[in-house]
Structure 1
Amino acid sequence: MIRWAASLGLILAITLAAPGAHGQSPAGAYETLRLIDGVRVLMNPADHASFASSNVVIIEQADGLVVVDSGFSRADGDQIVSYIRSFTAKPVKALIYTHWHNDHHQGASQIQAAWPQVRIIATEAARRGIDGPARLEGVGYETNPAWEALLAGQLRDVAARYQEAAANPENDAWRRHRFGQAAQQSLDGIPALVGTRLTAPTELFTADLVIDDPLRPVHIRHLGRANTDGDLIVWLPNQRVVATGDIVVSPIPFGFGSYPGDWIETLGRIKALGFHVLIPGHGLPQSDSAYIDRLIAAIADIRTRVGALAAEGLTLEQVRERVDYAEQTAIFGPSPARQANFQSLWLSPMTENAYKEATGVPIVQGQGELP
């Protein structure tokens, strides 16, 4: 798997750790949640065990809809369009990318095709992140069979790893079943990639942007670096609802390529909003700040432990051998399902990030470890 696609690798792993909680649906389909009047969320279903598309937030305003993120594939985009048309004739007037990870923006082409005048909004840093694979693989922003083949090849590779895990007698029966389910759903998802392409933002900003409305104004803010260098949040001040992208992911956060110190500060700014509902990039909506508090404590714990060992002059490999993460496991990994991916999704990449931070090594997006 190529280095810039580290986000894909961790997305492929996450649902083994965190199956959903809203009924049964065919693999790859979204489940819908009408959160409050005028705000809806699309999420992966409870039986989903393979690659996870981002949560999608749909906000209704007087003259159109604002959509936050668009999933991983062309098929995700088609589902979003179909769902929107099932309940309103209003157009989508704005689509917001919370960050550059490809499970959050690769359905955008279908939304743009359905509503050609849609504004596609992202931070400048997120645009740079999307530009990376466009340049690296030479695929640009047009439909390209080579791009589809690359994504399909990645899913086949991951399916093979799942199949191997499903056949491993050292895994318990539950894990073997879940790995087998994930392998099959990975392969079943390959046809959904046909027509998937990158779609560039049409509008960039650096700090704050408002899409006004009498009832549901949408405030788009870049509060600082966190899980990526271009994370933004979407804030509805009247409803006190915030969508965070992957700044917050539950029940296991994503640690790849993140900025530990800045992340703590950004989480503090989100908490200070006084939200009533938080919609994470993946996982169920939250009604209080308890998970944010746990996440802040976990990041601080990693920084403290890794920083102390780095100050002794230890190498990253030596730090990995000596650091004690019993408290981390108690916070995020109490069940066998979560422990299955806790090391690869969180502890390993965050140890590297904290070590780089402590030793003054730049953290470069897209160059974190793979699961």
Structure 2
Amino acid sequence: MSITGGDFVELGRDLYAWLPPKRGWGLANCGLLTSPRGAIWIDTPYDPVLAGQFLAESTKRLPDGASIDRVIVTHANGDHFWGAGVLPDAEIIATREAREHIHYEPTPKQQHALVQGGDPATALGEYLKRHFGTFDWSQTEPVQPTTYFTGELELTLGEYPVQVSALPAAHTTGDLIVHLPAQRTVFSGDVIFASTPQQPGDHPVHWAGPLSHVIAACEQVLATGAETIVPGHGPVLDPAGVRAHIGYLEYVRDRAHALHAAGVPALEAARRVIGERRHPELGLAERLVVTIGSEYRQLDGSELPGVLQVMTDVAIVAQEVAAQELSAQEGE
């Protein structure tokens, strides 16, 4: 069964955010900026079904004669990128460094085969089916950016300036943020995973790092003076929400560094940080396996393992966390 729905929220003059109906892997926020001269998407949904829904809602908001002719991709994870295939004639803009992450991930069809053909008796097979089984990439061809840039890119859409800034490796190699000064809004991509008391989110997952770069990217978002921040996942934030997120990132960074200095292996370090339960409101605690593993690689220069090995470790830890939570509930 496919995921359907989502909220289309007006953020400012001719600017909208599409917010998925729930939290979880692969459910990314997207943006639409319109003008009589055309429109821009900021990121895309994960599969053609969700992308088609976003396109249908976007089309309702286009001025007569306008079309969506540009897509700005905040980074090359498929959940922000693969849906661009529903706009085959659009210019797709990404950082030059994003190429590296495109080659790291499986293609859409490879991922579809992996999810649908995995053995549910294994930790990895069960995890992939549970979290990714609702998406359909069976007919999705790989998407390639058409325009690469480094540094800063200044665009205009009608009367609106669009300021695109490449970032040092943070969430992935090849992140960027999009600042819309007329609307006092920034789309941050996955350097920010949002959570609020009213709308709890999930633990971030960072594939590149170091976390000092992620923190610096958050501070760069704040430095724009934007009043509205659309994260890669989770609810829309104000600057105070971004500062709270920086506090979370500093906690994870400091714990990773302390455990690394004590000689604790990365996987065990992730288990220990999960066990501290500093943020019990956040879901998908097993994603700390990825983030802490990335921070360890920055500290010791080790190589990035294959994505299947990383996700196998994530799946195993997810089973452990679920078992611990069940045991705690039965003991109450």
TM-score normalised by the shorter chain: which range applies? 0.7 to 0.9
Q: Within 1, Cα distance between the matches of 2:220 and 2:97?
A: 19
Identify which of 151, 162, 180 aligns with 2:112: 151
Counterpart amino acid of residue 351 in structure 1:
I
Deviation at 1:195, TM superposition (A): 2.2
Indicate yes or no: 2:4 matched with 1:43.
no
What residue in structure 2 maps to residue 361 of structure 1? Answer: 302
Check 1:86–1:366 CA distance in 2 against 1; reply closer, same or farther (3 A cut).
same
Q: 3-state DSSP class of the match of 2:11?
A: strand
Evaluate the alpha carbon distance shift between residue 155 and residue 36 of structure 1 in structure 2; reply closer, same or farther with a 3 A threshold: farther
Letter aligned with residue 275 of structure 1 = A
What is the TM-score of this pair, normalised by structure 1? 0.70
Confirm or deny that 1:77 pairs with 2:77: no
Which one-letter code corresponds to 2:17 in the other structure? Answer: V
Deviation string 1:275-297 (CA, Å, 9 cap, x unpaired) is 110001111111x2233223322
1:291 matched residue in structure 2: 241
Q: CA deviation at 1:270?
A: 1.3
Deviation at 1:326, TM superposition (A): 7.0
Matches within 5 A, 1:1-371: 27-46=3-22, 51-88=25-62, 89-112=65-88, 116=89, 118-133=90-105, 148=109, 150-155=111-116, 157=118, 183=130, 187=133, 189=134, 192-213=136-157, 215-250=159-194, 251=201, 252-286=203-237, 288-312=238-262, 314-316=263-265, 320=269, 329-330=277-278, 332-333=279-280, 335=281, 338-339=282-283, 341-342=284-285, 344-346=286-288, 348-361=289-302, 369-370=310-311, 371=314
1:127 is paired with a residue whose SS is helix
2:26 alignment partner AA = A
Q: How many matched pairs? A: 302
Residue 255 of structure 2 aligns to which amino acid in structure 1?
A: R
| Compared CA separation, residues 364 and 211, structure 1 to 2 (3 A) | farther
Deviation digits for residues 49-79 of structure 1, max 9, x if unmatched? 7x53321100113411010111111223322
Aligned-pair identity in percent equals 22
Following superposition, the deviation at residue 45 of structure 1 comes to 1.2
Name the SS for the 2:31 alignment partner: strand
1:105–1:198 CA contact under 8 A, matched in 2: no
Determine if contact 1:257/1:365 at 8 Å carries over to the other structure. no
Structure 2 residue runs without a partner (length 5+): 195-200, 315-332
Larger RCO, structure (CA 8 Å, separation 6 or more): 1
State the 1:156 CA deviation: 6.0
Find the aligned partners of 2:267 and 2:157 in 1 and give their Cα distance: 54
Deviating beyond 6 angstroms after TM superposition, the runs of 4 or more aligned structure 1 residues are 158-162
Gaps of 5+ in 1: 1-25, 140-146, 166-178
Amino acid at match of 1:345: R
